[in-house]
Chain A
Amino acid sequence: MKTNLGARISNESFLSLFMLGVLVVLFGVACLFVPNFYRPQNMVNILTNNWFIVILGIGVTFLLITGNFDMSVGGNIAMTGVLSVWFCQAAGVSQNALANGLGLPYTAALVLALMCAMGIGAINAFFIARLKVPSIIITLGTMMLARGVAQIVTRGAQRNTSLPDAFGVLGNTAIPGTSVKVAVLVMIVLVVAAFVFEKLTVAGRRTYLIGANPEAARLSGIKVARHITLLYLASGLLAGITGILLASEFKAGVSGRAAGYEFDALVIALLGGVSIAGGFGSVLGMFVGAVILSVVTTAATGLLLSPDWQFTLKGLVTFIAILAQRFALDRRKA
Chain B
Amino acid sequence: MNGEAWRAGIKKYYIYVVLALIVILFSVVKLGQVQMFGRGHFLSPDSLINLLRTAVPILTLSGAFTLLMISGYIDLSVGSAMSLAAVVFALMVLNGFSFLPALLATLLLGVGMGWLNGLLVMKLRITPVIATLVTLNLFKGIALLIVPHGLSAIKGSAEKLMPAWINDYARKAVLLGLPWAFYAAILVIAILAVVQRKTILGKYAAAIGGNRTAAELSGINAVRMGWLLYILVGFFAALAGLARASYMSLGDPLSGDGMELDNIIAVLLGGTAFSGGEGSVLKTIIGALIIMCVTTGLMTVIPAFWQVMAKGSVLLLAVVLNHLLVRARARA
Contacts and interface: CB of A to CB of B under 8 A. Distances in A.
A131 B323 contact: yes
B83 to A, nearest CB: 11
Contacts of A146: 312
B264 A137 contact: yes
Contacts of A148: 306-313
B175 interface: no
A188 B299 CA distance: 44
A145 B323 CA distance: 19
B149 interface: yes
B315 A144 contact: yes
Given A144-B309, A144-B311, A314-B137, 19 more contacts: A127-B316, A127-B319, A134-B274, A137-B264, A138-B316, A142-B316, A143-B312, A148-B312, A149-B309, A152-B305, A155-B303, A156-B303, A156-B305, A270-B130, A277-B127, A311-B144, A314-B141, A315-B139, A326-B124
B325 interface: no
A319 B134 CA distance: 7
A64 B305 CA distance: 32
A128 to B, nearest CB: 11
B29 interface: no
Interface residues of A, number: 46
A133 B134 contact: no
Interface stretch (A14-22, A36-44, A229-237, A302-310): A302-310
Interface string A199-232: 0000000000000000000000000000000000
A48 interface: no
Main secondary structure of the interface of B (DSSP, over half): helix
A323 interface: yes
A142 B264 CA distance: 14
Interface in A66-95: 69
Interface of B: 74, 76, 124-127, 129-131, 133-142, 144-145, 147, 149, 260-261, 264, 268, 274, 303-313, 315-316, 319, 323, 327
Interface in A167-218: none
A198 to B, nearest CB: 22
B144 A136 contact: no
A147 interface: yes
Contacts of B313: 145, 148
B149 A312 contact: no
Contacts of B127: 276-277
A329 to B, nearest CB: 12
Looking at A142, A311, A314, the one whose CB has the most chain B CB atoms below 10 A away is: A311
Q: Mostly helix, strand, loop or mixed at chain A's interface? A: helix
A111 interface: no
A328 to B, nearest CB: 13
B144 A144 contact: no
A217 B274 CA distance: 24
A311 B305 contact: no
Contacts of A141: 261, 312, 315-316, 319
Given A156-B304, A263-B133, A144 B138 contact: no
A27 B311 CA distance: 43
A322 interface: yes
B316 A315 contact: no
A137 B134 contact: no
A104 to B, nearest CB: 23
B149 A145 contact: no
A109 interface: no
A141 to B, nearest CB: 4
Contacts of B144: 308, 311-312
A255 B127 CA distance: 31
Interface in A87-115: none
Given A319-B134, A326-B124, A140 B264 contact: yes
A151 B323 contact: no
Nearest to B260: A140
A290 interface: no
Nearest to B148: A308
A123 B319 CA distance: 13
Which of B125, B307, B308, B327 has most A Cβ within 10 Å?
B308
A314 to B, nearest CB: 6
A217 B294 CA distance: 43
27 contacts: A127-B316, A127-B319, A131-B319, A131-B323, A136-B76, A138-B319, A145-B309, A145-B316, A148-B309, A154-B305, A156-B305, A263-B133, A263-B136, A263-B137, A266-B130, A266-B133, A270-B130, A309-B141, A309-B145, A311-B137, A311-B138, A311-B140, A312-B144, A314-B137, A315-B137, A318-B134, A319-B134
Q: Which of B124, B127, B139, B268 has the most CB of A within 10 A?
A: B127
A316 interface: yes
A170 B129 CA distance: 36
Contacts of B304: 156
B315 A151 contact: no
Nearest to A275: B127
A283 to B, nearest CB: 19
Contacts of B309: 144-145, 148-149, 151-152
A312 B303 contact: no
A155 B126 contact: no
Nearest to A305: B145
A313 interface: yes
A316 B307 CA distance: 32
Contacts of A123: 316
Contacts of A147: 308, 312
Nearest to A260: B137
A263 B145 CA distance: 19
